[in-house]
Structure 1
Amino acid sequence: MKKVIYALFLPLVVVSGFVFANREIKNDTSEKSTSKPFSAAEREAAVKKWEATPGGIMYKKWKASPDGKKVLAGAAKIRKHISAFTDMEAVVTSLSLPPGSRLGFGVMARIDGVDYIVKFEPEKSQLEQLQSLKVNDKIIIRSHTVSHAPKYSYPIVSGDYVERDGKIIFKRAPRNGGC
């Protein structure tokens, strides 16, 4: 009888040891993942270090080129609307993105005389309404983000809200578990 009790007790001790050891490891990783934000000097040092890399050098050349200046000017032109999340009137100019783009689903649109890539992150239920867009459709766009990349000759607007003829055809769903 004692052997049976020892045989059952020993695995219980081993398993509980693994459980407590695993718990301590998880606690250690959570403490390490929360780090304080970089100071301004640290951020500047990181940027200078990155600018010395081949990618940083190429980005600086692109930024100084006519294409780069055009893209940055286009992004600056709508920055006020982006920061205030206000309506921007746009006309769809193309239903496809530039060749080789990896932005997912999107369209080309002209806002205040400047062409933009408008990218969406639709759910399957929203995709049908977005695919109903046609060239020369007038739409209202709201966005929180405008970005750029040397790969593209146009600023990239993330479509958070799109309206056509007074009807909402796309509204970005809030992310789960995040901000």
Structure 2
Amino acid sequence: MKKGMYALILLLVVVSGLVFISREINNETSKKSLPKLLSIAEMKAERKKWKTSPDGVMFKKWEDSPEGKKVYAGEAKIRKSLRDYTNMEGVVTSLSLPPGSRLGFGVMVNINGDDYILSFGLLKLDEFQQLHSLEVNDKIIIRSHNVSHAPKYLYPIVSGDYVERNGKIIYKRPIRKDGC
């Protein structure tokens, strides 16, 4: 009886020790995984460092080129609609994105005389089923919160948050469940 009791106590001590060590290891890894927040001065120094790197120099050349200026001018034309999340009328000009693009699903649209990439990102098949019914020259209403650019593309990239055709909603970006 005493041997069984000693064995049980010894087992309890060993298991408790293992749990305690495991907890310490988990705490250490979670502390290490938190990224260090940079101060404003450090962020400016990193940005300055990047601007002098080969990638930064190429980006600056692109910004100063006619292609870069055209992209920025296109962004400026729709900035108010994006900020206010108001309707923008567009015409579908192509059902495919430029060759080599890695933006997921999207179409080319013309808004107020300028061409844009309307990107929906990497979505599940059932989320953009109705978008596949779009045809060239379809008139659509677009709402978005975001426009971006990249030297790889000759057009501003509008994130498709809401698309309507003939008064019917054909796409509305689902609300993220994680709150962000």
TM-score normalised to the size of structure 2?
0.88
**Counterpart residue number, 2:165:** 164
Aligned residues: 178
Q: Indicate whether 1:151 and 2:152 are aligned.
A: yes
RMSD: 2.0
Give 1:85-164 correspondences, 5 Å limit.
Answer: 85-121=85-121, 122-164=123-165
Residue 78 of structure 1 aligns to a residue whose secondary structure is: helix
Percent of residue pairs identical: 65
Code of the residue aligned with 2:175 in structure 1: it is P
- Counterparts of 1:30-45 in structure 2, within 5 Å, are 33=34, 38-39=39-40, 41-45=41-45
Query: How far is the alpha carbon of 1:26 from its aligned partner?
Result: 4.2
CA offsets 1:107-156 (integer angstroms, 9 cap, x no match)? 00011111000111433323210000000001111111100001111100
CA distance in 1, matches of 2:138, 2:86: 19
Secondary structure in structure 1 of the residue aligned to 2:129: helix
Single out whichever of 5-14 and 168-177 deviates more from structure 2. Answer: 5-14
In structure 2, the CA distance between the partners of 1:23 and 1:115, relative to structure 1 (3 Å rule), is: same
Q: What is the match of residue 50 of structure 1?
A: 50
Structure-2 change in CA distance of 1:68 and 1:11 (3 Å) = farther
Partners of 2:76 and 2:7 in 1: how far apart? 73
Q: C-alpha separation between the residues in 2 aligned to 1:35 and 1:154?
A: 35
Letter in structure 2 aligned against 1:140 = I
1:2 match: 2
Q: Distance in 2 between matches of 1:17 and 1:143?
A: 55
Tell me what 1:175 maps to.
176
Provide closer, same or farther for how the CA distance between residues 30 and 82 of structure 1 changes in structure 2, counting only shifts above 3 A.
Answer: farther
SS at the partner of 2:92? strand
1:105 Cα offset (Å): 0.3
In 2, Cα distance between equivalents of 1:11 and 1:101:
60
TM-score normalized by the length of structure 1: 0.89
C-alpha separation between the residues in 1 aligned to 2:59 and 2:179? 31
Comparing 18-27 with 140-149, greater Cα deviation is found at: 18-27
Unaligned residue ranges in structure 2 (runs of 5+): none
- Return the letter of the residue paired with 2:3: K
Instruction: Please report how far the alpha carbon of residue 35 of structure 1 lies from its aligned counterpart in structure 2 after TM superposition.
Output: 5.3
What letter is aligned with 1:145?
A: N
Q: 1:37 to 1:84 in 2, by over 3 A?
A: farther
